[in-house]
Structure 1
C-alpha cells in the first residue's frame, strides 16, 4: 500500500498526503526539473529537514528575520518552479447563458438534472460508487440505479471542468479546451463535502488519510487481517468503518458517540470497537504500521482514517458571495437569491437524503419527506477535531496548534485574524483544509475569505 509523502515548505518535514482531491495540500509538487508534478504519479526527492521548527512566536519576536537583506533570500528556501511552460493551446473564453446551472456531479446534482439544466463537474457519481456502507432509507443499489438512469437520459447535459470562481461577468469554468463564462437564471451548488484532518501529535505521519482517500484508493490494498483506526463519533464514522474488515472507532474523550439506531446496530453486528480517548502520539514503523498511543491504550493499525464530520466545500459558495451559518461544528452555506444548495453542501451524509435534496428542485412535494428525515446534530463544548495537543493544523504554511494558542494570547479571536497573524490558509490550498478546523477549534463564526480563483489557473 503506497501512501505518498511530501516535504513541507518551511522546514522540509516529511509528511504524508492525506487527501486525493485536486487543490488540497501537497497533491502537487515541484520536481527536480523544476516542473509541477502530481504526487500520485511520482515521488518527491528525499529532503533533509531543517533542524529548527520555526514557530510563529519566533518569527514575530525575532527582528533579524524581518531585516531588508534577509527577506529577499527567503524564496530560495522554497520549492518554486524554475520556469513555467506556456500552454500548448490558447483557451478561448465563451460566454453562455443557462436556465439552470448545476455545479457538481454527485448524488444531489444528478438528481437535480432536467431538460432545462446543464451540469458542469469534475466527475459524476462521486463517493457513492466506492462506499460499501448502506443508506438508511433506500438500498444503495436502487440509488445508484436511479442515478445511472438519470445520467444516461441527460448525458448531453453534462460538461466536465473546474469551477474557478465568480467574476463580474459571470461564473468561470475551465474545460479541457476552453473557458466558459456562465450566466444562469438558477444556480444549483452540489459540490459535496469533505472530511478534514483532526488535531493530534503525529497527524502528519504517512497513513493518516481522509475518508474519501481511503474508500476511493486505499481500502482495496488493506489486507483482510489489517485494522484501521477511524476517527469520528457519528454515523459517518460507522459508514467508514463498514468499508473495512476490522476497525476501531475512536472519539475524543470529551465527545459522546451520536449514532442513529441503524448504525449503532451495524457497528455491533460487525464487531466494530468503540473507544473514547485522547491521542498522545502516532509513530510510523519501518514496516509501515502506525503505532497509536492514547492515554489509556496503544493500537497498531494500517491506517488512521479521519471521518469526524462532512464539511461543505465552502470555498465554492463563498466565492459567489453567499453567507453561511456555523452550527453543531459545521459551516453550512445559505441558499440566497437564485442559488440553491443541495446534498453534502447542506451537511447531508445519507445518500438517500442527498438524492431527495436534489429531487426536491424538480418535485417540491418531496420537501416534507426530506424535512422529516433530517438528522439531529449535537454540539460539544470542545471541538470534536481536538484529539490531542501539538498537532499540525495548516500543512501548507506549517501552522501548529501552539501557533494558534500564541495568536489567541495576543487577543486574536476569529479565523480571519488568525490568518493575518500566523499565515494559516495562505498556502496553495488557500484554507480549504485548515480554515474550518481552526475555526471550529476557536468557535469562530467568521472564517477566512475564499477568493476567486479557488483553484490554480495555468497560463
Structure 2
C-alpha cells in the first residue's frame, strides 16, 4: 500500500494521512516549492527533507524561560530546525468574493441524514444544502445494509439528489460570524442566514494512543474504505459496531483489538459477532513498527504483520462544528464521546437540529431516518426502533450515569497531537502537575494549536481527563486563504 510520506513539524517523524477530512493532520501540506498539495489525491508524494536540520527538540523548550530570555533563538528555531514552508504560491482560485443569501432552512453537511432532511423540506420552503460530499461515506463503504437493499436505497438517495440539484452546493463550513454562517465554496465566501439549521456534518474517528500510533499505515475506518482496493491485510482496533463493519469487508481471520474489554455494540452487531465468530482480543498495550513487510503489530501476547492498522474506536460527533454555531454539549463518561445536547428528535435549540453522525449515528439507514424524523414526526417511531436495534449510540440515552475508562489508551506512549508533536508522556506530566482541563493542557503544551486546530487531540485529552469542556473552537474552522 502506497501512502504519501512527509516529515512532522518538530520531531521530523515520518507521517502520513490518517483520514481525508479537510483540515485534519497531513491531509494537505505546502511543498518546498510553495505549492499546496492535497495528499489524499497525491498518494505517491514524498517530502524532500534535505533542507531540514535533524535536531528534534522537546516541546517543553518552547514554553521555557530560555526562549523568553533569548528571543532571537525563536527565529533560529523557526528557520532552521522546525519543519515549516519557506514560501507559498497563491492560487488565483483561492481569492474569494463574499456573497450573502437568506433561506428558510439551511442543511449543513451531506450524507444520508442531510438527504433525509432535504427530502422532507423540499417543495415546502426555501432550503439550501451545503456539503463537501453529497453522499458522504456511503459512496466508499459499499457494504450491505441490514435493514434494506443497498442498491434500492442508493436509488432513493440519487433520486433526492436529482430532484434537488438546484438546492445543493459544494462547500466547506467555515463557521459562524456576526453576518451569518459562512462557507468556502467555488471561489467565493457564501454567508447564509436562515430560520432553521440542520447540522449534518457528521462525526470522525479519533486515533488511539499507543507506541507508534503515528506510523504511516495506521488509518481511520473512513480512509480504509477509500483505499480498500489497495490494501490486502488489515488488523482492526476499536470498541464499536464500526470496527465490526470493517471486518465484514475482509475474508481472512477476523479479530478486534480492544483495551478494556468493553464493546459498544448494538443488538444487531452483538448477535452478528457471535454468529460469524469474530475474535475479541484484549490487550493493555499496543506497539507498531514499520518494516519492509508492512506494519509489525505487538499486543500483550501476540504479534501480527499487516498492511494497515484500522481504528474505529467510536464515532465522535464533530462538536467543534456544533459549539461554533452556538450549541452546548456534554461529555458521556460511559461512551467517552462529546455530544451536542439534544432531544430524541434531534432538536438542540429552537432553531437548530442535529442529525446523523452529528449524533454519533453510524448506521446509514438510521442516519437517513434521523434526518426525516427531525422534520416530520411520522418517522420518529421507525427511527427509534432502528436506533435500538442497529446503533450502539442508543446507549447514550440509557447509560450516561455509568463511568468507563478511556477506550483510547493502549499504554503510556504515543502521540496525542501530531500537528505539534505533543506526546502522551508530555500530557501526562502536565496532568500530574495539576493541569486538569483540556484548555489548560493546550496552553502549557501547545496541542490543539496546529493545522487541525484541535479537531483530534483535544478529544483524546478530554477522554483521558474526563473533562466536561474542550477548547474554544473559533471561526474559521478550516483554513481560509483570501
Within 2, Cα distance between the matches of 1:60 and 1:175?
A: 38
Rate the CA distance shift 1:230–1:89 in 2: closer, same or farther, 3 A.
closer
- 1:331 maps to which of 317, 332, 338: 338
- Name the residue aligned to 1:20: 20
- 1:82 maps to which of 83, 87, 92: 87
1:56-90, Cα deviation, whole Å (9 max, x unpaired): 44554562575222123222133124144263585
Number of aligned residue pairs:
454
- Name the residue aligned to 1:433: 456
Within 2, Cα distance between the matches of 1:323 and 1:244?
A: 39
Matched, 1:444 2:467: yes
| TM-score in terms of structure 2 length | 0.88
- Name the residue aligned to 1:293: 298
Matched, 1:238 2:247: no
Q: CA deviation at 1:253?
A: 3.5
Structure 2 matches for 1:130-209, cutoff 5 A?
Answer: 130-209=140-219
1:228-268, Cα deviation, whole Å (9 max, x unpaired): 11111221110121122235443433232343343234334
Q: CA deviation at 1:309?
A: 0.6
- Name the residue aligned to 1:386: 409
- Name the residue aligned to 2:360: 347
| TM-score in terms of structure 1 length | 0.93
Q: CA deviation at 1:355?
A: 0.9
Structure 2 matches for 1:13-52, cutoff 5 A?
Answer: 13-39=13-39, 40-41=41-42, 43-47=45-49
Rate the CA distance shift 1:248–1:81 in 2: closer, same or farther, 3 A.
farther
| Structure number with higher helix proportion | 2
- Name the residue aligned to 1:252: 258
- Name the residue aligned to 2:315: 310
**SS, match of residue 445 in structure 1:** coil
**SS, match of residue 143 in structure 1:** helix
Matched, 1:128 2:138: yes
Larger CA deviation: 40-49 vs 418-427: 40-49
* Contact 1:57-1:406 within 8 A present in 2 as well: no
- Name the residue aligned to 1:262: 268
* Contact 1:194-1:313 within 8 A present in 2 as well: yes
- Name the residue aligned to 1:69: 72
* Contact 2:448-2:457 within 8 A present in 1 as well: yes
Within 2, Cα distance between the matches of 1:57 and 1:326?
A: 29
Within 2, Cα distance between the matches of 1:393 and 1:248?
A: 28
- Name the residue aligned to 1:362: 375
Rate the CA distance shift 1:97–1:81 in 2: closer, same or farther, 3 A.
farther
**SS, match of residue 280 in structure 2:** strand
Within 2, Cα distance between the matches of 1:21 and 1:213?
A: 9
**SS, match of residue 279 in structure 1:** coil
Larger CA deviation: 427-436 vs 253-262: 253-262
Note the aligned Cα RMSD (angstroms): 2.2
- Name the residue aligned to 2:390: none
Within 1, Cα distance between the matches of 2:253 and 2:327?
A: 39
**SS, match of residue 124 in structure 1:** coil
Q: CA deviation at 1:211?
A: 0.5
Matched, 1:7 2:7: yes
**SS, match of residue 138 in structure 1:** coil
* Contact 2:355-2:374 within 8 A present in 1 as well: no
Rate the CA distance shift 1:36–1:132 in 2: closer, same or farther, 3 A.
closer
Q: Which runs of 5+ in 1 are unaligned?
A: none
Within 2, Cα distance between the matches of 1:431 and 1:195?
A: 14
Rate the CA distance shift 1:100–1:279 in 2: closer, same or farther, 3 A.
same
Q: CA deviation at 1:349?
A: 1.5
1:188-216, Cα deviation, whole Å (9 max, x unpaired): 11011111110000111111001000012
**SS, match of residue 123 in structure 1:** coil
Q: Which runs of 5+ in 2 are unaligned?
A: 342-347, 388-393
* Contact 1:136-1:350 within 8 A present in 2 as well: no
Rate the CA distance shift 1:55–1:409 in 2: closer, same or farther, 3 A.
farther
Within 1, Cα distance between the matches of 2:243 and 2:148?
A: 19
Larger CA deviation: 262-271 vs 362-371: 262-271
* Contact 1:132-1:242 within 8 A present in 2 as well: no
Rate the CA distance shift 1:175–1:92 in 2: closer, same or farther, 3 A.
same
